[in-house]
Amino acid sequence: MLTATYALVAIAVEHKKTWATSSTLQQYLQSSSKARQAIDPLGLESVVNQLVQIDDSCHQRKVEVYVIPAIRKATREADSLLAELESLSTLGASILRSVVAQSRQVCVQGMVQIRELYCSMELYCQSLLQRLAKEEEELFLIARRVIPNEEWFAICAQFLSLDAENDARKRSAHAVWYPMGPIPVRPFNTLSRPT
């Protein structure tokens, strides 16, 4: 049962991070769409890129990669919920494709379509937040109940392996390679200052 608890905590942490990122972006969109006077192509591109990154990371979440397939394997009871979640993902992907296309048009055509673009971006965030709420309110409860302990153990092993790979990737991204091996590069704020 400890492995199931670890897996559920890992999923919850990932879930809260995705929720916070999406919610913050949605709030930004709502406040900036009202005060929008001119198009900032770089700012617009940045927001669209953030939406694309959020979408990509959502499809790589542990709940999508490991838990949903385990639920499908364990029971047919969740089929309608999983279909609804898939529908929300499909809607989100469709909205995101529209956002990318609209953002290109806005930069070319000007302010005419900016409100529609911001509405589409907010709609994407709403769709994602709705999916996350369904996962939290329904999917996680079903997962706890229907996934057997040995399956939770396998899921945890995959989580630990994935976390180790991500940690190794982060460490190598913060190292400069020299012929003698990597020399860690610490962020400026962690360097000690001479006294």
pLDDT digits (tens, 9 = 90+) for 88-147: 999 999 999 999 988 888 766 666 567 788 889 999 999 999 999 999 999 999 999 999
- The whole-number average pLDDT for the span 6-17 is 90
CA 159 – CA 155 distance, rounded (Å): 6
Kindly state the tokens that stand for 176: 């400069």
Q: How does residue 5 score in pLDDT terms, banded at 50, 70 and 90? A: confident
Best CA proximity match to 146, nearest among 64, 76, 63, 62: 76
Query: What contacts 93, CB < 8 A, 6 or more positions away?
Result: 55
What integer pLDDT is reported at residue 35 of this predicted model? 61
pTM of the entire structure? 0.76
For 38-80, what is each residue's pLDDT tens digit?
567 777 888 899 999 999 999 999 999 999 999 999 999 999 9
CA pair distance 70, 74, nearest whole angstrom: 6
Residue 112 CA to residue 106 CA, distance in Å, equals 7
Q: Which residues lie closer than 8 Å to 186 by C-beta, 6 or more apart?
A: 174
> In sequence order, which residues have a C-beta less than 8 Å from that of residue 103 and are 6 or more positions away?
44, 45, 48, 117
Per-residue pLDDT for 32 more than 90?
Answer: no
Question: What is the pLDDT at residue 136?
Answer: 94
- Structural domains in the chain? 2-147 (1.20.120.520)
Cross-strand bridge partners of residue 177: 182
